Structure 1
Amino acid sequence: MNKTGPIAYLTGEYPRATDTFIQREVAALRALGVTVETCSIRRTDPSHHVGPEQREEASRTFHILDAAKNPSRLLKAHVGLLKQSPRQYFGTLKKAWHTRAPGAKAALYQMIYFAEAGMLAQHMQARGITHLHNHIATASCTVAMLASALSGIPFSFTLHGPDIFFEPHRWRLDEKIASARFVACISHFCRAQAMNFSAPAQWNKLHIVHCGIEPKRYSPQPRERGEHLLFVGRLAGVKGVPVLLEALKSLAPTHPDLKLTLIGDGPERSALETRATQMGLSDVTHFVGYKSQTEVAEMLGQTDVFVLPSFAEGVPVVLMEAMAAAVPVITTHVAGIPELIDDGVHGILTHPGDSRSLAQAIETVLADTDLAKVMGKEGRAKVNASFNIETEAAWLAQLLSAYKENKPKLPVRDVT
């Protein structure tokens, strides 16, 4: 039974091909009977609508900037909120000003966030929303915090990282944690960072809610082992793809059948394609752009090793997907990844930025078929037990319900 009332979900861009975990969470909450209305600051580019799930979600999402571009509609929203409670309205305006980052440009953006918050607050009140939940604790979370203050509708947010931990003071993570009803941290590492940037009095509302997957979507497929590597992720500096290319260059002479498929897109795609060609890897690397969840699952069924050489991460959902497909994974020992992968059990953890250790890890898995099978089996068991979206959504729904009813202190992590 839905005990939370209709809730709104907010993020900067929804739905995105790179954030399918949010779509899964929304779908899982709806399956539990929670009414979820999705909101997005910006309208996503159609290139992100790579499957029917994204297209359907895009059609039912409220786009704040689109609405705010209508001056009369924006003015009506803010005038209505001002008349409703002048004290609350000006108090929120003061909060927006005091939580701005230094500099004139940041102040301008903060006023834009305040304008967007008014549009969202009015929309939520009109729709009878009882709670607002935000994903990604940067700009959209600022809008969520201000919309909550304007409307009186409580909010919570999911804290991911790593970006927010690079600039926690700019994004006033302390104020967001203090203002939120609760915070869903995706890992113990993430929660520790939140504790580092908040007062001890706030720590009891920092809970761990994993991002989750649907293991059945990634059922292991029988296949003969080869030398096909797969990378899935945004083609940006933090993902460490140049390190992977260096590792491939060292392996290619002794592995003539080696192949790497890169699923994803991003600001560095063109430069990476050029770099691969210059390194003599044009026949080895295949950049295929964004793919749907179904297409990623199919590709995992044809993959021998999944590689993600990131410099910084939260707990990557793509690793969970590979593990669910019983594919051995090779990644880096950073942030929350060791909470997902035990080195040598579910995969191999390498030093970030070290192409030599990455190449050695790839060599080890390619050379030992039995080890690869065991890692794949153990990895699938791990995500089934601890990163299943149905279990995680049920825990999140429990948090939403309990905080609405002002129940006593809840555990950091549901252990039932």
Structure 2
Amino acid sequence: MNEVGPIAYLTGEYPRATDTFIQREVAALRALGLQVETCSIRRTDPSHHVGPEQRAEAERTFHVLEAAKNPMRLLGAHVRLFAQNPKRYFGALKQAWDTRAPGGKAALYQMIYFAEAGLLARHMQNCGITHLHNHIAAASCTVAMLASKLSGIPYSFTLHGPDIFFEPHRWRLDAKIASARFVACISHFCRAQAMNFSESAHWSKLHIVHCGIEPERYTPCARTRGKEVLFIGRLAGVKGVPVLLDALRALQKDHSDLRFTFIGDGPERAMLEARAKEMGLADITDFVGYKSQAEVAIALKNTDIFVLPSFAEGVPVVLMEAMAAEVPVVTTHVAGIPELIEHGVHGLLTPPGDSASLANAIALLLSDPNGAARMGKAGREKVSAEFNIALEGAWLAEILAHYHESPTPDLPVRRTT
């Protein structure tokens, strides 16, 4: 794989607790012999670095905004890029202007992205980068697109959702797909959305590359099938936690010994803790904040059921982690989740926003330990075969190598198993 040359990885913030799947992907590519230089627009607050792996990654990552604080470095980068190729420089400036969102504020931000792109472009040239890959198709992908134009280094990006699909025109998803060498879509649902917002001429370069986990991190263990229930995720509106609290209150009558742990943090944590207290759930709920990958693995060993009541998702990596640990899962039937979980086989799917259905699904697993164990085993088999980061990393490396040799999109949509 070394023939691809050094690759730059860019996202808005790297590394951070909520995006460990990017860190795993980088590690998988490095394990295959690729040189990956990580870049981040902003420096993540140290509170989001959980464990020594993330702290080490933060130390070796190039931070664009920090570099931009040196005005001479910023100006020097753009002067050099202009001197190298004035036509290409003005072409990138035109691209920035043409892909801006409506309004004066959006135009200002677009020029900021252009300024950041110049710094990134020069950094990549200095490092001998041959390809740029971005995760999350919003602001950082705009920087990636412009840096690619400024430097002449091709780029690609991983498309996740759901947020980008709420505002595809603002973020000019069509232009990003058109200008990218290829797009890695995390699910068939995601790819269909990309097809919806792009011209059919570009559909053949939309490939499915799953986010993945390391199954060996999550050793299955014998469970007593008690009443320990776990949620892991960002404590924000999209995760549907108030619906889960309503379900817990309904379950409390028949399951007084139920215990529920919330791993994660976010803008609604204080409100959710207060709401749990008001609902009389303080004694059975525990909000413990962010945890490292190792701590999450331990928590999954000690739980009986995993619940994720989201309103919108891509394909949640945290569900993969629970399944790898043979924990039966209850989640919602939205977006790409049904591609991961078949109802009644790998877990239970409920309508989003329906607390009664959520409570019934949790109660069903509590009352059927044999069925819960069966779903747990089937879940581990599913993620080991289809969401294993070693396999997904190898598939992404194959895509990178193919497009490095030829921009012709004649690869299959999905890796063959």
Place the TM-score, normalised by the shorter chain, in its bin.
over 0.9
Alpha-carbon distance, 1:323 to partner: 0.1
Indicate how the Cα distance of structure 1 residues 156 and 408 shifts in structure 2: closer, same or farther if over 3 A, else same.
Answer: closer
Question: In the aligned structure 2, how far is the partner of 1:50 from the partner of 1:174?
Answer: 35
**Residue deviations 1:212-239, cap 9 Å, x none?**
0000000112231210110000000000
Give aligned pairs, total.
Answer: 416
User: Which runs of 4 or more aligned residues in structure 1 lie more than 3 Å from their structure 2 counterparts after TM superposition?
Assistant: none
Q: Pairwise mapping of residues 232-271 of structure 1 onto structure 2 (< 5 A)? A: 232-271=232-271
2:29 aligned partner: 29
Query: Where do 5+ consecutive residues of structure 1 fail to align?
Result: none
Question: In the aligned structure 2, how far is the partner of 1:378 from the partner of 1:131?
Answer: 38
Q: What is the letter of the counterpart of residue 231 of structure 2?
A: F
Alpha-carbon distance, 1:254 to partner: 1.3
Question: In the aligned structure 2, how far is the partner of 1:54 from the partner of 1:372?
Answer: 34
1:210 aligned partner: 210
**Residue deviations 1:136-160, cap 9 Å, x none?**
0000000000000000000000000
Question: In the aligned structure 1, how far is the partner of 2:107 from the partner of 2:270?
Answer: 34
Alpha-carbon distance, 1:256 to partner: 1.4
Q: What is the letter of the counterpart of residue 210 of structure 2?
A: H
3-state secondary structure, aligned to 2:3 = coil
Question: In the aligned structure 2, how far is the partner of 1:238 from the partner of 1:413?
Answer: 29
Is 2:412 aligned against 1:411? yes
Question: In the aligned structure 2, how far is the partner of 1:69 from the partner of 1:356?
Answer: 52
Asked if the contact 2:225/2:304 (under 8 Å) is kept, the reply is: yes
2:289 aligned partner: 289
Question: In the aligned structure 1, how far is the partner of 2:165 from the partner of 2:98?
Answer: 20
Query: Where do 5+ consecutive residues of structure 2 fail to align?
Result: none
**Residue deviations 1:147-206, cap 9 Å, x none?**
000000000000000000000000000000000000000000000000000000000000
TM-score (norm 1): 0.99
1:307 aligned partner: 307
3-state secondary structure, aligned to 2:302 = coil
Question: In the aligned structure 1, how far is the partner of 2:313 from the partner of 2:223?
Answer: 30
Percent identity between the aligned chains? 76
2:393 aligned partner: 393
Is 2:137 aligned against 1:176? no
Question: In the aligned structure 2, how far is the partner of 1:3 from the partner of 1:125?
Answer: 17
1:129 aligned partner: 129
**Residue deviations 1:382-403, cap 9 Å, x none?**
0001000000000000000000
Q: Pairwise mapping of residues 334-345 of structure 1 onto structure 2 (< 5 A)? A: 334-345=334-345
Question: In the aligned structure 1, how far is the partner of 2:300 from the partner of 2:268?
Answer: 24
3-state secondary structure, aligned to 1:234 = coil
Is 2:350 aligned against 1:366? no
- With 50-59 and 220-229 compared, the bigger mean Cα shift is at 220-229
Q: What is the letter of the counterpart of residue 392 of structure 2?
A: E
1:19 aligned partner: 19
2:80 aligned partner: 80
> Aligned-residue CA RMSD in angstroms?
0.7
Asked if the contact 2:341/2:347 (under 8 Å) is kept, the reply is: yes
Asked if the contact 2:205/2:409 (under 8 Å) is kept, the reply is: no
Alpha-carbon distance, 1:107 to partner: 0.7
1:332 aligned partner: 332
3-state secondary structure, aligned to 2:168 = coil
1:276 aligned partner: 276
3-state secondary structure, aligned to 1:3 = helix
